[in-house]
């Protein structure tokens, strides 16, 4: 086990924003909340999945709702702890480790206030390896690990537990409760044993985010192209570099949905997004597609969220392979192009 202190949170937050592939929310607020907790309670221990005993009890933590609301209605700070303790009471056993459900975006840091204030280790792993918009879009679903029981808590101290038939229902019911709670809430669920956690999560993703964040700083310091550095680090490649010349947003309630055209001297790239960047294509040919990661970065290597895409930005579109589980038929059924309403067939990103 190693420690993560306030200084390293910055790197994790930056790396997580890149892995957020345009969605997952701006980690600024999440980082500040986690920083406050670490300043108050001290650093947090991070455990590798192999360091977790078989009989450990692991629970996932994440934020649900609209990031745009969270930048306005800031958290009280105890939401995650409330959700966590509610779940623990429901389970009737002590939870020993907390797990980020989603490494992409602000959710990467959601477990830290709980871990810091209760003195529990955070698992160096997550359930997506990137950002996805819905609760059921986790690798655990593929292994039949239920989200349920799932506790949801708001800043007022309200908490509910949903006990659901499957992970799709977890999404529906949790989402409805969240809207009544004012569109931001923290959830704690996916209870699993240490052995299960080893088998069904994506290991090493917190450390990956941290190294990715550090890499961006290093590249800038050494005057190396940060976008190229990010692409190589993630085992992917720069698919396109150019200027955003058009952004069309569709009116689809609840989603930052639309497409952008990015142009270079004689070529153009089409980028389709729904909260996350999902498909990059050129002359009708798909260059990269969900579930592979599509990161849109500015010249400094800062990720550009789908909501902030704007005319005139100079960006690099980086494609990187997703976790292998997402490339299986079951994985593609859950988070492949068809799950987002696209008709093209998924082809793994060529590197």
Partner 1 sequence: MHIGIDVGGTNTDAVLVEGRTVLAECKTTTTADVTTGIIKAVGGLRAAVAFEPAVISAVMIGTTHFVNAVVEGRGLAQTAAVRLGLPATRALPPFVDWPPRLRQVIGGHSYLCHGGHEYDGRVISPLDEDELRRVAADIAEKGVRSVAISSVFSLVNGDFERQAAEILTAEVPDLLVSFSHEIGRLGLLERENATIINAALRELAEQIADGLVESLTAQGIDAPLYLSQNDGTLMDLEYARCYPVATFSSGPTNSMRGGAFLSGLDECAVIDVGGTTTDVGMLNKGFPREASSEVLISGVRTNFRMPDVLSVGLGGGSVVRETPSGVEVGPDSVGFRLSEQALVFGGDTLTATDVAVAAGLADIGDATLVRNLDRTLVRSVLDHVCDRIATQVDRLRTCPAPLPVVLVGGGSVLVPDEIEGVSEMIRPEHHAFANAIGAAIAQVGGEVDRVFTIDENRRDEVLDSARQEAVDKAVAAGAKADSVRIVEVEEIPLAYLPGNASRVRARAVGDLVLERARA
| Binding region for partner 1 (CB under 8 A) | 23, 25, 28-29, 32-33, 36, 65-69, 71-78, 113, 133, 155-157, 175, 179, 182-183, 243, 245, 249, 251-257, 263, 275, 306-308, 310-314
**Tokens in use for 254?**
């609840």
Q: Would you say 256 or 318 has its CB closer to partner 1?
A: 256
Helix (H, G, I), strand (E, B) or coil at 83: helix
Q: How far is the CB of 56 from partner 1 (least distance, A)?
A: 28
- In the DSSP assignment, the letter for residue 238 is E
Q: How far is the CB of 82 from partner 1 (least distance, A)?
A: 11
Q: Would you say 1 or 311 has its CB closer to partner 1?
A: 311
Q: How far is the CB of 313 from partner 1 (least distance, A)?
A: 8
Q: Would you say 124 or 272 has its CB closer to partner 1?
A: 272
- In the DSSP assignment, the letter for residue 350 is P
Q: Would you say 5 or 157 has its CB closer to partner 1?
A: 157
**Are the C-beta atoms of 245 and 330 separated by less than 8 Å?**
no
Q: How far is the CB of 112 from partner 1 (least distance, A)?
A: 12
What is the tally of helices (H) and strands (E) in the chain?
11, 17
Q: How far is the CB of 50 from partner 1 (least distance, A)?
A: 33
Q: How far is the CB of 61 from partner 1 (least distance, A)?
A: 15
Count the Cβ atoms, other than its own, within 10 Å of residue 265.
5
Q: How far is the CB of 33 from partner 1 (least distance, A)?
A: 5
Q: Would you say 282 or 308 has its CB closer to partner 1?
A: 308
Q: How far is the CB of 129 from partner 1 (least distance, A)?
A: 19
Q: Euclidean distance between the first and final Cα of the chain, in Å? A: 33
Peptide bond into 291 cis (omega under 30): yes
Q: Would you say 217 or 263 has its CB closer to partner 1?
A: 263
Q: Would you say 181 or 349 has its CB closer to partner 1?
A: 181
**Where does the chain have alpha helices with state H?**
6-19, 27-41, 67-70, 79-91, 112-118, 139-142, 167-180, 194-200, 205-221, 226-233, 329-335
Helices 205-221 and 226-233 meet at what angle, rounded to 10?
A: 150
Peptide bond into 36 cis (omega under 30): no
- DSSP string covering 157-223, please? S-EEEE--SSHHHHHHHHHHHHHHTTSEEEEEEEEEEHHHHHHHSEETHHHHHHHHHHHHHHHHHTT
Q: Would you say 175 or 325 has its CB closer to partner 1?
A: 175
**Tokens in use for 262?**
């990015």
């Amino acid at each position: 086990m190693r420690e993560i202190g306030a200084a390293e949170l910055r790197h994790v937050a930056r790396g997580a924003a890149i892995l957020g592939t345009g969605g997952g929310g701006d980690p600024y607020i999440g980082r500040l909340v986690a920083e406050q907790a670490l300043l108050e309670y001290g650093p947090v221990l991070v455990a590798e999945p192999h360091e977790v005993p078989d009989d450990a009890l692991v629970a996932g933590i994440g934020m649900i709702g609209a990031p745009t609301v969270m930048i306005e209605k800031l958290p009280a700070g105890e939401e995650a702890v409330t959700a966590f303790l509610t779940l623990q009471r429901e389970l009737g056993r002590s939870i020993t480790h907390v797990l980020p459900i989603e490494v992409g975006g602000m959710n990467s840091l959601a477990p830290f206030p709980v871990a810091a204030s209760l003195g529990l280790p955070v698992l160096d792993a997550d359930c997506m390896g990137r950002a996805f918009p819905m609760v059921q879009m986790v690798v655990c679903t593929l292994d039949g690990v239920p989200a349920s029981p799932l506790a949801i808590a708001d800043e007022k101290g309200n908490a509910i537990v949903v006990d659901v038939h499957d992970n799709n229902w977890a999404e529906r019911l949790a989402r409805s409760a969240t809207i009544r709670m004012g569109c931001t809430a923290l959830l704690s669920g996916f209870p699993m044993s240490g052995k299960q956690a080893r088998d069904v999560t994506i290991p090493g993703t917190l450390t990956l985010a941290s190294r990715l964040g550090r890499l961006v700083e290093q590249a800038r310091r050494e005057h190396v192209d940060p976008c190229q550095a990010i692409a190589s680090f993630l085992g992917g490649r720069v698919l396109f570099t150019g200027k955003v010349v058009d952004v069309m947003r569709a009116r689809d309630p609840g989603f930052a949905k639309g497409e952008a055209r990015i142009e270079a001297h004689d070529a153009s790239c089409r980028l389709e997004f729904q909260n996350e960047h999902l498909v990059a294509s050129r002359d009708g040919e798909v260059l990269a597609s969900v579930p592979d990661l599509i990161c849109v970065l500015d010249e400094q290597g800062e990720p550009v969220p789908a909501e902030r895409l704007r005319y005139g930005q100079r960006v690099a579109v980086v494609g990187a392979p997703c976790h292998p589980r997402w490339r299986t038929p079951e994985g593609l059924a859950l988070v492949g192009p068809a799950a987002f309403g696209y008709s093209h067939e998924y082809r793994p990103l060529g590197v």
